[in-house]
Amino acid sequence: MQEINQLRKVALFKVILAVILVCGVAYLTLKFSKLWWHYAIGGVVALLIIGMAISAVEYYKSQFIERILKPLLKSNDLYFFPEEGFSEDVALSSNLFDFEYDDYDSHSLVVGRDFRLAYVEFTKEEEEEDSKGNSYTTTVTKFAGFLIVLKHKRMVKNYVIIRPSSFHLSDILPVTYDKTRIKMDNPEFEKIFDVYSKDQVEARYLLDHSYMELLIQLYNKADIKYLSFIKDLVFTKIEYDDFTQNMPLLTPVNDKIIQKILFPVEYALFLKESLNGGFNER
Amino acid sequence: MHLENWMYWGGGFILLMLVIMMYNSLIGRKNMVENMYGAVDALLKKRVDMIPNLIASVKEYMKHERDLLTKITELRTQILQTTDENQKIELESRLSGYLKNLMVNVENYPQLRASENFIQLQNAIKDVEDQISAARRAYNQAVTDYNNAIEMFPTNLMALMMGWQRKKVFEIPEDERKNINVSDYFKE
């Protein structure tokens, strides 16, 4: 921990130094130079200084991963691959991302026994117009967080998707009928979740009364809203910052911060135990 | 064409679409009830088909339970022969009771409880029992949806014209509502 705090201090010092130097270079260039190539040299020097500061921060983050995260995860039989992630096909097959998007990115893969998780990000380019009528394109994040995939003891042949409950016109005006929506016989569960599946019997076989109670408890304890059961896998997602985004630069590294960074892993382990434990009890 | 005419045509078209949607929604619900009944029936048949194996694996050990085993076998034959739906449900319910008794009595036969073959069969029966319970719940929900649709406005008008009537739900025994688990009978 001391070593990483030392590296953090070095990175912070370089960032502060870079800010001072860039301001200094800008001041001197603007004050004393009148020739275009003076400005060009000033710009190049400023870029070099910024580059050095960024590389110091990147080095600190890579060391944080190598010296703190990887050993900590490995001690729990978990393996971390910062550059790897889920393929787009895997993410889409989860049925948890039913929105339009333009770009997909995934990294920070953690692999454990019977589970894996990775950071995924979906973005979309959207046209917007300002008050003067000029249109411009902005990148909107549709989802940024962790996709978690767990092995599940009970196999389903089709799929069973659980989402937060929403309004259904067919409940009050029976002019439409959605065959894939599974109305469950637990009013409390129905208030919280909507269930979708092609197979009415299979969905109820999976979600028996004790399992519905378990999911209600998980919703109350861990705010679980999305679950997708496909074959012997369960997919879920949580919106949370990537590991590197929570690495502190200004404040010292301590256990509390590491716990905050690794929250998605803890969450996935908790889910793995809870969702499969539900079957052990029956 | 005048605006007034457009409004008549538009209104008529919307009304027609609503009628089509209502009709399709009612048909969807009715078919779902029939599907779910079929699912329950298929699973009950699956359980009946497991009985010969169950009897074969326990009769060696459970010689003192000959009466119970005979009753189960006879009941199976009756279920396979009957075509009356109500009688079938009644017989299935009796069969469930006998099977539960059999599982309770297994407690007295440690050798049987240790048999690999029996353990597999016990798990298979438990699985089918769970599936039957799920199928009954699905059937009841389908019937509830159907009954709601034929009683709620405006679909009740169409259901009345088609002469559709309320359907009955399966009466799930109190112990089954508690999600009975066959393996509970084997706990020490």
**Contact by Cβ (8 Å): B123, B16:** no
The pLDDT assigned to B56 comes to 81
Residue A178: closest CA among A163, A157, A156: A163
**Contact by Cβ (8 Å): A244, A59:** no
Q: Which two tokens stand for residue A63?
A: 């060391």
Beta strands of B32-97 (E only): which ranges?
none
Query: Model-level pTM greater than 0.95?
Result: no
Collect all residues with Cβ–Cβ distance below 8 Å to A46 and sequence separation of at least 6: A21, A22, A25, A26
The whole-angstrom distance between A219's CA and the closest CA on chain B is 22
The whole-angstrom distance between A214's CA and the closest CA on chain B is 14
Identify the residue with better confidence: B181 or A198: A198
How far the first Cα of chain B sits from its last, in Å, is: 84
Biggest distance spanned by C-alpha atoms of chain A: 82
3-state DSSP assignment of residue A241: coil
Confidence bin at A93 (pLDDT 50/70/90): very high
CA A193 from centre of chain: 22
CB contacts under 8 A, B 168-187 vs A, are 177-179, 181
- The label of the residue with tokens 């300002």 reads A130
Look at B135 and A201 and tell me if their CB atoms are within 8 Å. Answer: yes
Backbone phi, psi, residue A238, to 5°: -135, 140
Look at A201 and B39 and tell me if their CB atoms are within 8 Å. Answer: yes
The answer to whether residue B184 scores a pLDDT higher than 50 is no
The answer to whether residue A92 scores a pLDDT higher than 90 is yes
Look at B155 and A204 and tell me if their CB atoms are within 8 Å. Answer: no
3-state DSSP assignment of residue A153: strand
The pLDDT assigned to A279 comes to 45
What is the C-alpha to C-alpha distance for residues B152 and B157, in angstroms, rounded to an integer?
Answer: 9
Look at A204 and B149 and tell me if their CB atoms are within 8 Å. Answer: no
Residue A107: closest CA among A245, A254, A222, A231: A245
ipTM: 0.75
Look at B28 and A204 and tell me if their CB atoms are within 8 Å. Answer: no
Backbone phi, psi, residue A113, to 5°: -70, 120
pLDDT tens, A94-132? 999 989 999 999 999 999 988 899 999 999 999 888 888
The answer to whether residue B39 scores a pLDDT higher than 60 is yes
The whole-angstrom distance between A162's CA and the closest CA on chain B is 17
The pLDDT assigned to B182 comes to 37
In terms of Cβ atoms closer than 10 Å to its own Cβ (0-12, 13-18, 19+), residue A107 is middle
Provide mean pLDDT across the span A271-281: 68
Nearest chain A residue to B128 by CA distance is: A205
Which residues of chain A are within 8 Å of residue B16 when distances are taken between CB atoms? none
The whole-angstrom distance between B79's CA and the closest CA on chain A is 23
Please state the length of chain A. Answer: 282
Residue B46: closest CA among B167, B130, B165, B144: B130
Which residues of chain A are within 8 Å of residue B138 when distances are taken between CB atoms? 200-201, 204
What is the C-alpha to C-alpha distance for residues B10 and B6, in angstroms, rounded to an integer?
Answer: 6
**Contact by Cβ (8 Å): B144, B169:** yes
Confidence bin at A43 (pLDDT 50/70/90): confident
Which residues of chain B are within 8 Å of residue A214 when distances are taken between CB atoms? none
What is the C-alpha to C-alpha distance for residues A221 and A244, in angstroms, rounded to an integer?
Answer: 26
Collect all residues with Cβ–Cβ distance below 8 Å to A280 and sequence separation of at least 6: none
Confidence bin at B1 (pLDDT 50/70/90): low
The pLDDT assigned to B174 comes to 53
Q: Which helix (H) or strand (E) holds A109?
A: strand A103-112
The pLDDT assigned to A280 comes to 41
3-state DSSP assignment of residue A106: strand
Backbone phi, psi, residue A98, to 5°: -105, 50
Q: Select from B35, B154, B181 the Cβ nearest to the Cβ of A282.
A: B181
The whole-angstrom distance between A174's CA and the closest CA on chain B is 6
Task: Mark B50-64 as b/e (b = at least 16 C-beta within 10 Å).
Answer: ebeebbebbeebbee
The answer to whether residue B176 scores a pLDDT higher than 70 is no
**Contact by Cβ (8 Å): A228, A234:** yes
Collect all residues with Cβ–Cβ distance below 8 Å to A78 and sequence separation of at least 6: A110, A111, A112, A265
Q: Which two tokens stand for residue A32?
A: 């004393």
Q: Select from A173, A184, A201 the Cβ nearest to the Cβ of B131.
A: A201
3-state DSSP assignment of residue A163: strand
**Contact by Cβ (8 Å): A63, A89:** no
Q: What is the DSSP letter of A143?
A: E
CA angle centred on B77, ends B76 and B83, rounded to 5°: 100
Beta strands of chain B (E only): which ranges?
none
The pLDDT assigned to B59 comes to 77
The pLDDT assigned to A119 comes to 96
The whole-angstrom distance between B2's CA and the closest CA on chain A is 31
Nearest chain B residue to A180 by CA distance is: B32
The pLDDT mean for chain A works out to 88
Q: Does A179 touch chain B (CB under 8 A)?
A: yes
What is the C-alpha to C-alpha distance for residues A149 and A151, in angstroms, rounded to an integer?
Answer: 7
The pLDDT mean for chain B works out to 81
Domain residue ranges of chain B, discontinuous segments joined by +: 3-186
pLDDT tens, B75-121? 888 888 888 777 877 888 888 888 888 888 887 888 777 777 888 88
Q: Does A194 touch chain B (CB under 8 A)?
A: no
Long-range Cβ contact pairs of A24-27 (< 8 A, separation 24 or more): A25/A49
pLDDT tens, A232-273? 999 999 999 998 888 888 888 888 888 899 999 999 988 888
Look at A201 and B24 and tell me if their CB atoms are within 8 Å. Answer: no
Pairs of CB atoms within 8 A across A/B: 67
B3-186: which CATH topology?
de novo design (two linked rop proteins) (1.20.1440)
